[in-house]
């Protein structure tokens, strides 16, 4: 019970009635062995039923008489066409599946079908989830088709096995021992991802090292690709734009240079000779020191198309990141990606997706939606969420990120009238794009439980579920996850669910309430640092973002300020410009307001800010108390691990609250309102704390 098995615990089911019902429906399984994927299905079912039902099902490849679970494609069982409508089957594509309770010659059976072995694997995991969550399996009629095509993890893993913004140990890719040694963890990784529908992995950091494109590393990547293939997972690599210079001995990486184009074409051919099902490239260019087309006076489209053309003959794609901003540009950082990319709409090749972070700055605890969503109708836009909690307490704080993801996906950006949600943009349905996708910056490392914090697993799980179906609800996802991972005890489920569902609002409250952002400490991004100022880049300081002074606080992004609001649809512009209709959660993102400004609650802005910080602390205290009531409900190992992390979180929530309030109080010059606890230390004390040493607050 160390968490290694993630949500695939397959814990023994205690209720004899349930066990009986499940056994009746699963003890004889028909499953043709076509491929390594069907072999994986067989092993999964064996493992699952042994764990949950203490049985070993009987398998047959063909025989259906007296069998009760039939798993196969139309090619395996031509009679399926009579049970499942042909049109319906056709609509499933290669990954969708159907699970249906039906009859075979008067004999009740459950059928799991689809158009590929991978679809059968996905269907099997869904079927097992029903049993893991103690649902009835006697009257099923489920059709599930992924809404997005490319569902990838982005590993920010370096070749030396360090992980940029990783808080769960080292990289799981052991480059030193690859390709000769295939670690069991690679298989377990692929299995876990397949169980939630993830179908791709970018192995390397966006701050890329060109060496990964050299033959010795390609052989290693190929070994991983081979392990992942039966699980439906493609390997992608990050491409360093200057690779033709660094590993190709060319003098330039100019995208319009014939030799550069030739170099990438040959490189693509070489990669495919090692990895026949290679997915393509992810690229960070012209950003934070990474080279890119700007170096040659070219556009982002010139850069992306260079790689797209090289990959095209092999069916590969380019995920070109929109995270482009520069200290040399005088404009508000929040506006720069839009300024750069919007004019290029329609200029990208059709195997390019532009990958956009959920918000316009950088994975803050809360950001409004990125203005590029809805602004590039001719270009497939891919969502980039961060699963690793760079700005949200990293490895220690319990934050269920699905709420953040859902908030963004369900935002109506009104690009084509009401109902134009971000989900519809990223699944391609709003503009009928055949390509679509969602990327999640991975939180996985060598930690025994994969993610450091046990609840970090929920964010990996939820990302997969939302990539498959961006309309799914966080609460449902969390409930399933808790039950699959921990326990079916109703008190356990309800209490953990409460903690998870509150957790995102809590972290926003104790870190960056009311639309504040980017006020974390320098470089490590862990604790508070509203005082960070005077660095070599203004747009990496806190004072640039909060603008606190005697006159008030907040970044004016209306027409009297940076006018970032002009990048949104007129509906959003009007709503957010007007102080009466701007949601308070985004208030200081868009407005600079006096400390005495009256909030909806009737309190002044200063008082409200103080109360929000206090509320965040109180929410962590409550989570800790709630968790304490669960002792004995699950194994001690995970219970205690989580308990100690919640204690750290409570302490650090106080650190955030005290440091930020004391800092802002210098400008508001008002006392803390009643009900807000007095800090025990001075601002100077809090400034000295660092993540390695946070004393009692």
Any idea which residues carry the catalytic annotation?
288, 362, 390
- The runs of H, that is alpha helices, within 342-473 are 402-409, 422-426, 456-468
Side-chain-facing half-sphere of 149: CA atoms under 13 Å = 17
Torsion of CA 662, 532, 589, 354, to 10 degrees: -150
CB 243 to ligand BDP: min, Å: 17
CB 522 to ligand BDP: min, Å: 12
DSSP state, 518?
-
Helix, strand, or coil here: 538? helix
Residue 426 has which token pair? 């990223």
- CA gap 629, 643 in Å, rounded: 11
Q: Does 571 bind ligand BDP (CB under 6 A)?
A: no
Nearer to ligand BDP, 7 or 405 (CB): 405
Residue 450 has which token pair? 């994969």
Q: Which residues pair with 28 in a beta bridge?
A: 58
Interface mask (CB under 6 A) for ligand BDP, residues 256-295, using x and -? ----------------------------x---x-------
Nearer to ligand BDP, 13 or 159 (CB): 159
Other CB atoms within 10 Å distance of the CB of residue 432? 6
CB 7 to ligand BDP: min, Å: 27
Query: Footprint of ligand BDP on residues 116-135 (CB under 6 A)?
Result: none
Q: Does 468 bind ligand BDP (CB under 6 A)?
A: no
Please report the DSSP string for 436-466 in residue order.
-EEEEE----SSTTSSSSTTHHHHHHHHHHH
Nearer to ligand BDP, 323 or 338 (CB): 323
- Find the binder of ligand BDP among 164, 183, 188, 685 (CB under 6 A): 164
Nearer to ligand BDP, 286 or 608 (CB): 286
Interface mask (CB under 6 A) for ligand BDP, residues 299-328, using x and -? ------------------------x-----
Which residues, 6+ apart, have CB-to-CB distance to 692 below 8 Å?
none
CB 543 to ligand BDP: min, Å: 18
The number of residues that bind ligand BDP (CB under 6 A) is: 10
Side-chain-facing half-sphere of 446: CA atoms under 13 Å = 11
Q: Does 362 bind ligand BDP (CB under 6 A)?
A: yes
Cα angle vertex 423, ends 509, 589, to 5°?
35
Cα angle vertex 284, ends 447, 345, to 5°?
130
- CA gap 344, 20 in Å, rounded: 60
Residue number, nearest CB to ligand BDP: 362
- Find the binder of ligand BDP among 104, 231, 363, 555 (CB under 6 A): 363
CB 323 to ligand BDP: min, Å: 5
Nearer to ligand BDP, 286 or 362 (CB): 362
Q: Does 535 bind ligand BDP (CB under 6 A)?
A: no
CB 165 to ligand BDP: min, Å: 5
Q: Does 340 bind ligand BDP (CB under 6 A)?
A: no
CB 517 to ligand BDP: min, Å: 12
Other CB atoms within 10 Å distance of the CB of residue 261? 18
Exposed / middle / buried, residue 184 (Cβ in 10 Å: 0-12, 13-18, 19+): exposed
Nearer to ligand BDP, 207 or 543 (CB): 207
Interface mask (CB under 6 A) for ligand BDP, residues 386-425, using x and -? ----x-----------------------------------
- CA gap 648, 653 in Å, rounded: 8
Nearer to ligand BDP, 362 or 607 (CB): 362
CB 203 to ligand BDP: min, Å: 16
Let me know: does 436 contact 150? Beta carbons within 8 Å: yes
- CA gap 514, 524 in Å, rounded: 23
- Find the binder of ligand BDP among 28, 67, 155, 165 (CB under 6 A): 165
CB 447 to ligand BDP: min, Å: 20
Nearer to ligand BDP, 5 or 364 (CB): 364
Interface mask (CB under 6 A) for ligand BDP, residues 202-241, using x and -? ----xx----------------------------------
Let me know: does 542 contact 437? Beta carbons within 8 Å: no
Nearer to ligand BDP, 284 or 333 (CB): 284
Which residues, 6+ apart, have CB-to-CB distance to 671 below 8 Å?
none
Residue 549 has which token pair? 């002074």
CB 163 to ligand BDP: min, Å: 10
List Cα–Cα distances, 626 to 32, 452, 506, 545, 673, in angstroms: 48, 21, 14, 35, 27
Nearer to ligand BDP, 77 or 373 (CB): 373
Residues that bind ligand BDP (CB under 6 A): 164-165, 206-207, 284, 288, 323, 362-363, 390
């Amino acid at each position: 019970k160390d968490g290694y098995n993630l949500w695939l615990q397959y814990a023994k089911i205690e209720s004899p009635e349930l066990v009986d019902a499940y056994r009746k429906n699963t003890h004889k399984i028909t499953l043709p062995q076509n491929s390594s994927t069907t072999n994986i299905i067989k092993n999964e079912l064996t493992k699952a039923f042994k764990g949950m039902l203490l049985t070993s099902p009987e398998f047959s490849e063909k025989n259906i008489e007296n069998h009760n679970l039939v798993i196969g494609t139309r090619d395996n069982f031509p009679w399926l066409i009579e049970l499942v409508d042909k049109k319906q089957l056709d609509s499933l594509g290669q990954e969708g599946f159907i699970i249906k309770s039906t009859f075979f010659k008067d004999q009740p059976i459950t059928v799991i079908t689809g158009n590929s072995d991978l679809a059968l694997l996905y269907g099997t995991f869904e079927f097992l989830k029903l049993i893991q969550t103690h649902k009835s399996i006697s009257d099923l009629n489920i059709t599930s088709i992924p809404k997005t095509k490319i569902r990838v993890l982005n590993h920010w893993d370096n070749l030396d096995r360090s992980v940029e913004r990783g808080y769960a140990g080292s990289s799981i890719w052991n480059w030193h021992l690859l390709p000769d040694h295939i670690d069991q963890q690679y298989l377990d990784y692929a299995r876990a991802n397949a169980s939630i529908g993830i179908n791709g992995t970018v192995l390397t950091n966006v701050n890329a090292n060109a060496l990964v494109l050299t033959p010795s590393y390609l052989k290693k990547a190929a070994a991983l690709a081979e392990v992942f293939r039966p699980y439906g997972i493609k390997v992608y690599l990050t491409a360093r734009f200057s690779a033709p210079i660094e590993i190709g001995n060319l003098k330039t990486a100019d995208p319009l240079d014939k030799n550069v184009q030739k170099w990438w074409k040959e490189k693509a051919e070489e990669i495919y000779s090692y990895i026949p099902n290679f997915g393509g490239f992810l690229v960070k260019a012209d950003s934070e020191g990474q080279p890119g087309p700007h170096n040659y006076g070219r556009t982002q489209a010139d850069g992306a198309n260079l790689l797209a053309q090289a990959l095209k003959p092999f069916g590969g794609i380019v995920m070109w990141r929109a995270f482009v901003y520069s200290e040399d540009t005088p404009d508000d950082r929040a506006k720069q990606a839009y300024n750069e990319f919007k004019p290029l709409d329609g200029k990208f090749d059709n195997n390019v997706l532009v990958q956009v972070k959920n918000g316009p700055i950088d994975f803050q605890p809360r950001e409004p939606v990125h203005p590029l969503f809805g602004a590039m109708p001719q270009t497939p836009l891919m969502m980039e969420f961060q699963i690793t909690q760079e700005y949200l307490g990293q490895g220690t704080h319990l934050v269920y990120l699905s709420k953040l993801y859902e908030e963004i996906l369900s935002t109506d950006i009104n690009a084509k009238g009401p109902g134009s949600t971000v989900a519809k943009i990223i699944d391609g349905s709003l503009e009928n794009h055949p390509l679509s996708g969602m990327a999640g910056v991975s939180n996985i490392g060598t930690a025994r439980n994969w993610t450091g914090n046990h609840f970090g697993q929920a964010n990996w799980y939820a990302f997969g579920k939302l990539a498959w179906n961006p309309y799914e609800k966080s609460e449902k996802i969390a409930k399933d996850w808790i039950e699959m991972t921990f326990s079916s005890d109703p008190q356990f489920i309800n209490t953990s669910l409460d903690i998870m569902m509150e957790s995102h609002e809590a972290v926003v409250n104790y870190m960056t309430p009311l639309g504040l952002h980017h006020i974390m400490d320098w470089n490590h991004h862990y604790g508070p640092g509203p005082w960070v100022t005077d660095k070599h880049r203004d747009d990496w300081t806190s004072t640039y973002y909060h603008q606190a002074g005697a006159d008030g606080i907040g970044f004016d992004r209306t027409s009297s300020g940076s006018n970032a609001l002009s990048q949104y649809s007129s509906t959003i512009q009007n709503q957010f410009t007007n102080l009466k209709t701007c949601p308070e959660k985004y208030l200081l993102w868009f407005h600079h307001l006096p400390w005495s400004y009256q909030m909806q609650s009737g309190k002044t802005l200063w008082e409200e800010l103080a109360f929000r910080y206090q509320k965040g602390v109180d929410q962590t205290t409550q989570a800790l108390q709630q968790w304490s009531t669960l002792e004995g409900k699950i194994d001690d190992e995970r219970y205690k691990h989580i308990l100690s992390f919640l204690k750290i979180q409570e302490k650090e929530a106080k650190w955030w609250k005290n440091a930020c309030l004391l800092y802002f109080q210098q400008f508001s010059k008002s006392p803390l309102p009643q009900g807000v606890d007095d800090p025990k230390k001075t601002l100077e004390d809090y400034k000295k704390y660092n993540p390695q040493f946070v004393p009692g607050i």
